[in-house]
A and B are shown apart, each in its own frame.
Chain A
Amino acid sequence: MADLGYLSLILALTISIYTIIAFVIAIKTGNRKLKNSAKGGVAAICLLVTTASFILIYHLVASDFSIAYVAQYTSTDLPLFYKFSAFWAGNSGSLLLWSWVLAIYTAIITFSKKHEQDGKLPYVSAILTFNNLFFLFVMLFFANPFIKSVQKFGYVPAEGSGLNPMLQNPGMVFHPLTLYLGYVGFAVPFAFAITALILKKVDDSWIKVTRRWTVIAWMFLSLGNLYGAQWAYVELGWGGFWAWDPVENASFIPWLTGTAFLHSVMIQERKDMLKIWNMALIIVTFLSTIFGTFLTRSGVLQSVHSFASNPGLGTVFLIFMSFVALVSLYLLIDRINLLKQGNQFESYLSKESSFLVNNLLLVGAAFATFWGTIFPLISEAVRGVRVTVSVPFFNQVNGPILLAMVFVMGICPLIAWQRSSLKNLRNNFMWPLLIAAVIGVVLYFYLPGRQLYGAVAFAVCAFVILTIVQEFYRGTVVRHRMTGEGYLTALGRLTVRNRRRYGGYIVHLGIVFIVLAVIGSYGYKLEVTKQVKPGETITIGDYTLTYNGLMEKREGANAVVYAEMPVVKGGKHIGTITPEKVFYKNWQQPGTEVAIRGTLAEDLYVILATWEWDEKTQSVTSATFKVNVNPLMSWMWIGGYLLVLGTIFAVWPGKGSRLGPKYTQ
């Protein structure tokens, strides 16, 4: 079976080459038969990569350790769910997943009736197939998922190494999958943009056609990042959710530039402007998705997320990235006259100009993240000294930029298109600003530590929430006044009939909730690390936890050491919390299972760090616990779901989703 998988990949690579050539000749000669044949090629690639993927899944589920990948990432006692997810746990498997998703996306685009008539399809399909050709090449020559154990290890192991216990978490199952759906999704608008440049048809049609692809790719990228954060929070046991690791940064950069792109295309739709900027943004977004993949595989930067480094693989990725960047740049410069502005702004104070500020901050944050990520390499090249750029740098540099971005998020939607006036600003912003300022002052005095930065950040969030609520309220009132509908009906119809607009507001609300969680958990976290003997207590904030000794149990092949700790809050018993350490059969390092008691206000987060063993009495004398109180953490996940809900609401097919900024000359 594995040979069939390998053969499928070889055939897919060969057919990819044929498909690209056939598309190019069909474009040159207008040969319909050849074009149809190339389309058949796209279908064949999709079928072959799907076959290869199913074969790998079959081997993983069947625990066939004659395949090196299966032996490296699974074991017989691994639950079926994780055997399946081991598909993307390693380098070659994750490349196959990338190729599979790309092949499916390419087939959907190629056989879509919508794109049949406009002549762009052969170009788009050829670009996407070329992209997939690269991944197939990498798999076949650098990271073959079907390589035999005999070839790799010299023998067939009787048992597999098992999946890293830290990856045995639902968050880690969905994190790579959603991230890849997002990464690969951005290849579609990129292919359409390059096609527009090649064909010299640089109006906004490529943006309109790919809007749904872009928005959905963005949603998956957001989800991917959130699942990653959730996994880090519940599985890594350090009390945080984002460590500004190079690989985390690499998935944050396309999110930032993709967000900037989603906003700036509205100006092109409305004013026929920023064409060069939008082209540049989608090129940068696509390149940064490849950059992320390059980082995880090249070993060029130290990261906790890296696959085993392979310098050869890194070089190939670098060549591919350089090639794509050069070709894109050439096309952009060559077509620059066509991309010149078609319209003009009417005022300094308008939605258009506020979008420029929003783009500046988003791209500025993306640049700061990129700069910080590669600065160790620059330092090494210039000074010969490698430095580390981690949490303190990114918090201090990106913190203010992202907070300013949140503030602009409150302003942008409420400023009128074309030209705003002072009256308009006063009407829209006076009350939200006043109330937010009062909230900020109250929180400054009420919250512990009297932190100015924290109070300002909360006030900014309050301002954005108030402007969003005000938009829903005013829209409902206007509709009620004009149609006589009841308020609830008016609210429902208002939002459903303007899904793009109100979906966007829901997404903004989700983002603000996430930001609230970030501020709460970074600025107002309580932390205690304490060594306790049985009967002793740990007090943190309003909570008191009692340690009654450690216990042991078996869960399948694993041994679990745990503590059952009654929790008292404000003198009232609120439950028992059970932090664990798990000792795996197939893994040297024990895993930490964090115990979390979450409410909307805060999470009580308990880690069993270590314990002291007395050889004489053969018993545990004391244990050390790390206990955190992380305020507002639940809002991160609520915000994430709201973000997904808002995105789906905005792109759901129908009239309401098409209503967007109207083009005005």
Chain B
Amino acid sequence: MRQKVILLLAVLLLNLVFALPALAEEYVVDEKLFKEIEANLMCTDGCGMYLKSCDNATAQQMRAEIRQKLKEGMTPEQIYGYMISIYGEEVMAAPPASIPFNIAAWVTPFLAILGGGLLIYTALDKWVFYRKTAESDTVLIDEADLAEYEELVDEEIKKYY
């Protein structure tokens, strides 16, 4: 029995030894993740700068805070939520799409372009009057050739008339 307990303890100890680097790693901040979070926030001291670009004392403090929260095991979403709870929605460098009204910010430009595209298509449909004969036998001259021909003809006309 005693031997079994010693063996169990030895196995546990061994596991712990192998697990230690992994445990230690949990406390090392993932730099990529940190930079990703930093790139989505603003400095909050009124300088109007993007956190990633700002180097003032507030920005440094915010970075330390992000690192601390990452060490505590918070996910990026939790960190954003934490930041918003302290500094307000303005701390986010882009309007969070989780709030329905903010979706308008993201979608409107593309809807406008789509609308413009449809408008162009409709206009073209109205303006194109040769569409049925689009593949007619008219000879199409290449642009580069045409420019040169036009210029040479101009020169010839000047020379002889």
Contact = CB atoms under 8 A, between A and B. Distances in A.
Interface of A: 236-240, 243, 245, 273, 302-304, 341, 344-348, 353, 356-357, 360-361, 363-364, 367-368, 371-372, 375, 379, 382-383, 385-393, 396-397, 401, 413-414, 416-417, 419-421, 423-424, 427, 471, 474-475, 478-479, 482-483, 494, 497-498, 501, 527, 592, 609, 659
A393 B48 contact: no
Contacts of A236: 53
Nearest to A360: B116
A421 B109 contact: no
Contact of A245 (B48, B108, B109): B48
A414 B146 CA distance: 12
B116 to A, nearest CB: 5
Given A236-B53, A397-B106, 12 more contacts: A239-B53, A345-B128, A356-B123, A379-B95, A385-B89, A392-B40, A401-B109, A427-B142, A474-B142, A478-B145, A494-B148, A659-B151
Give the top 8 A-B pairs by smallest Cβ distance, nearest first: A368-B109, A238-B53, A393-B94, A364-B113, A390-B93, A392-B94, A345-B127, A302-B48
Contacts of A392: 39-40, 93-94
A353 B39 contact: no
A302 B91 CA distance: 13
Interface in B123-161: 123-124, 127-131, 134-135, 138, 140-149, 151-152
Contact of A371 (B88, B109, B145): B109
Interface in B72-115: 88-95, 101-102, 105-106, 108-110, 112-113
B50 A302 contact: no
A414 B112 contact: no
Which residue of B46, B145, B148 has the most chain A CB atoms within 10 A of its CB atom? B148
B26 interface: no
B144 A344 contact: no
Interface in B29-59: 35, 39-40, 42, 46-50, 52-55
Nearest to A367: B112
A246 B130 CA distance: 46
Contact of B142 (A368, A424, A483, A501): A424
Nearest to A277: B123
B138 to A, nearest CB: 7
B73 to A, nearest CB: 23
Contacts of B120: 353, 356-357, 360
Contact of B53 (A243, A348, A372, A379): A243
14 contacts: A238-B49, A238-B52, A243-B49, A348-B128, A356-B123, A364-B113, A368-B112, A385-B88, A387-B90, A388-B93, A390-B42, A494-B148, A498-B151, A592-B55
Contacts of B93: 388, 390-393
B26 to A, nearest CB: 22
A454 B144 CA distance: 32
Contacts of B94: 388-393, 396
B105 A364 contact: no
A390 B105 contact: no
B140 A497 contact: no
A391 B50 CA distance: 8
B128 A346 contact: yes
Contacts of A353: 120, 124
A164 B2 CA distance: 78
A239 to B, nearest CB: 8
A421 B137 CA distance: 11
A170 B146 CA distance: 46
Contacts of A497: 151
Nearest to A244: B50
Contacts of A390: 42, 50, 93-94
Contacts of A346: 128-130
B35 A388 contact: no
Contact of B148 (A303, A393, A414, A482): A482
A245 B49 CA distance: 8
A483 B152 CA distance: 9
Contacts of B116: 360, 363-364
Nearest to B102: A387
A582 to B, nearest CB: 14
Nearest to B105: A375
Contact of A401 (B101, B113, B123, B147): B113
Contacts of B146: 416
Contacts of B130: 346-347, 419
A367 B109 contact: yes
Contacts of B145: 478
Contact of A416 (B39, B50, B135, B140): B140
Contacts of B90: 386-388
A225 to B, nearest CB: 18
Contacts of A421: 135, 140
Given A238-B54, A393-B94, A304 B39 contact: no
B138 A419 contact: yes
Contacts of A501: 147
B132 to A, nearest CB: 11
A243 B47 CA distance: 13
Nearest to B63: A529
Which residue of A341, A353, A414, A417 has the most chain B CB atoms within 10 A of its CB atom? A353
A353 B42 CA distance: 42
A427 B141 CA distance: 12
A382 B13 CA distance: 61
Contacts of A375: 95, 105
Contact of B147 (A345, A498, A609): A498
A389 B140 contact: no
A353 B95 CA distance: 35
Contacts of A238: 49, 52-55
Contacts of B49: 238, 243, 304
Contacts of B141: 416
A243 B50 contact: yes
Contacts of A383: 101
Given A379-B102, A592-B55, A388 B42 contact: yes
Contacts of B35: 527
B52 A360 contact: no
A341 B151 CA distance: 29
A501 B143 CA distance: 11
A172 to B, nearest CB: 17
A360 B92 contact: no
A387 B92 contact: yes
Nearest to A471: B144
A378 to B, nearest CB: 8
Which residue of B42, B120, B151 has the most chain A CB atoms within 10 A of its CB atom? B151
B104 to A, nearest CB: 8
Given A238-B53, A416-B143, A386 B105 contact: no
Contacts of A471: 144
A393 B48 CA distance: 15
B48 A304 contact: yes
B50 A387 contact: no
Contact of B95 (A389, A427, A482, A527): A389
Nearest to B112: A367
